[in-house]
Structure 1
Amino acid sequence: MKARKTRILADLPAHLLSRPRTWIAVGVAGMSLMGVVAATAVAPGSAPADILFERVVEALPAPVAIDTTEDSDLPFVHNERIQAGDSLQAIFNRLRIDDAEALAFLSSSDEGKKAIRQLRAGRSVTAVVSPAGQVLSFSLPLGNTSEQVVIERGDKGLALRASPSATQTAMVEMRSGTITHSLFGATDAAGLPDNVATQLATIFGTWIDFHTDLRKGDRFNVVYEAVYEDGNPVRAGRILAAEFINNGERHAVVLYRGSSGKEQYYSDDGRSLQQGFLRSPLEFSRVSSNFGRRLHPIHGSWRNHNGTDFSAPVGTPIMATSDATIDFIGSQRGFGNLIVLKHRNNITTHYAHLNGFAKGLAKGQGVSQGDVIGYVGCTGWCTGPHLHYEVRIKDVPADPMTVALPMADSFNDKELAAFKRNTAHLRQRFALLNYELASAR
């Protein structure tokens, strides 16, 4: 049998260019199973299976070390990431700074105290330190802003100044993980930041009960924003796309700005994950009076009760049940303090007897589902603290607990085609991660 020729990596470009082009792979950069900065998907079946790889190992001479520690006055330059729970003293200790004067100077100045109060894990400090451990320059970031506080030692002693921070760069990263015991155990093993892991649990929580539904071997792929400063990760942002395979069933979402102008998560076939209307405008409450005829507690006569009453303590936050525009905000006879929200499809919702309104609200202003718009009270005709909540369709009252309300924004055929076209680059990343995972097995 004729032996197949092996090739080393340097031979591959010429070999691939000379082969019949049955596939094309473009722009793959920074690719790895656990983290990819930017990449495009590789078509299934495109792996060059007929090529054998040979690893070449070459011994390199050790680099020549230069000892600058003896009789040298050259300063040391350090770049150190702030860790959770860090104090300024702990950072100085790690950097081998022995400078009580600089520590006291930073800790006593207003700018320094502000920066110390706002230490954020993941940000970076930069220090120039003399061989004796004395601070020559020390830059401390101000919270998560682009500003930093810089202490410098000059001929006249220590001085403090504000300075723009190093340029921050937003990048797209990807992670994959497989469940062995728990979701957060798998996200830790995959190197997924905690806030991204929490987002993942929230997004897929409508489909998966992470206490009871997880199975060993379930897996996930996540594409998310990451912010870097001087090559160091500063913080993670939003999930841009995610895929979760639970017990053989696939769930996938992408972040997309629809025709309403709002970004929200959609399944990768274009269905919004957001509910059209929340059924209750209060997180914790009980229904004290239902929709329909009742004996009025103040007037003592039978009347139509055009809403649902939720009993709750004074000051309980009240949420907008759907995206809307404020149609009325103020006081109105028996309703007391009242907000009326105008939604699409000729639907309005009414929130009455409020103790007060959220700050900054005004007629004509837009609000989003879940925004706090006011607080439970007992203004107007009221016998105890509660929220009177109404839903009206074309100004006709409907039972808020049973009425069929529209779901969140849905796409027409043209919008769906645009959605699939504009999110293809995100969904293709799933294919790349799954291909890498299969290749590693």
Structure 2
Amino acid sequence: MIDIQEFVARRACFIDQMDLNSIAIFCAADELTRSHDTEFPFCQNKNFLYLTGFNEPQALLVLTKDALGNGQSTLFCRDKDPLQEVWHGRRVGAELAKEKYAFDQTFTLEQADEQIVAMLKHKSSLYTVHNENDAFDSQIFDWLSAVKSGVKAGDKAPSQLIDCSGMLAEMRLIKSQAELAVMRKANEITANAHVRAMKNCQVGMFEYQIEAEVHHEFAFNGARHPAYGSIVAGGDNANILHYTDNSDVLKDNELLLIDAGGELDGYASDITRTFPINGKFTPAQKEIYQLVLDAQIASIEAIKPGVSFAQLNDIVHEVFTKGLVELGILQGDFDTLMEEKACKQYFIHGLGHWLGLDVHDVGDYDIDENRRQNRAFEPGMIMTIEPGLYIPLDAEVDDKYKGIGVRIEDNVVVTENGYENYSLGVPKTIADIEALMAS
């Protein structure tokens, strides 16, 4: 759990970056209807959560900065309502929210129109996250129109509308020690879930039964919801990158790829392991698996401040190209194959991504015209490293490799002198996996 003073500090940091005499307005998420009159479990807008820690729908955050540089935070939220709370759950209410979440002032949602129009008057700049919520974008322009309607009385609306998504992305990209502690715990829970899946996997089970084992471990330990749709893909299903049907029978002598992560206090984990359904790798599976593991280890060991995803990709491409040539899956001159990025025929996605409040978290990668991600790593960045090789049944390769899909994914944080791998709680060497599944 992140202390409320960290949210206060985040708001202050954002206000420091705002122009003098400006205002920023952010909206919470709405509840989403699943079917008729039932809703999906509520998931807060992650920018709103980052700045407030407030986890109710239909709220607004307003940050203002006056001409002297003084900042103020204001929350608008649903009022206490005993009847609604009996049916739908307790609300914090404006009065308690001020104290509990350390805002400078709070109002009910019913007061929002009047108060926000007053706050907008005579401000020079308005910061929002553009195109995030159509209804909210429309509401912003309604408030601006209300200010402009008073122009004859001397009222002025902000002349600059600034998309602040980039500002927030840069703040969110570098994690605090409190954030890293939550993400380390999320990885511990997720690692235990993957271990549970390995221990319970048997030929003849359904993919969804393994999914249930994983989700049980998440929820039982406080990660109430998966951070994304869990992938439990047996055999050739592993060659569908975002396979989420999870409905097939697990077969003997095939691999099972599980890409699943629990969400804890709003923060995602994202771990992938691939292992033999019957507990023993075949010789061909070993060859592909070890190649992916070698590439992953080589790239993780290179992580330190100043290194980039582009450099890590070069390492992985070299390992994959050399290994696929040795296995006879690629043919040709090594240098030519490297130049042509021939391994991308089988390594068909990126090496990794930022991780945080979103599983594919915000933050610039500094992508150049050649699509190379040149952003230099800094301490506090956390990312996934997830090389994979995918050889579908219709691939033109030796039959023993057909239908094999392997991905190995860890969550790695950049430290002052190198890295820390948060995902070590779940085995990934061939020997360790087979030993665990035999125990």
Q: TM-score, normalised by structure 1?
A: 0.26
More strand by share: 1
RCO comparison, higher one (Cα < 8 Å, 6+): 2
More helix by share: 2
Q: TM-score, normalised by structure 2?
A: 0.26
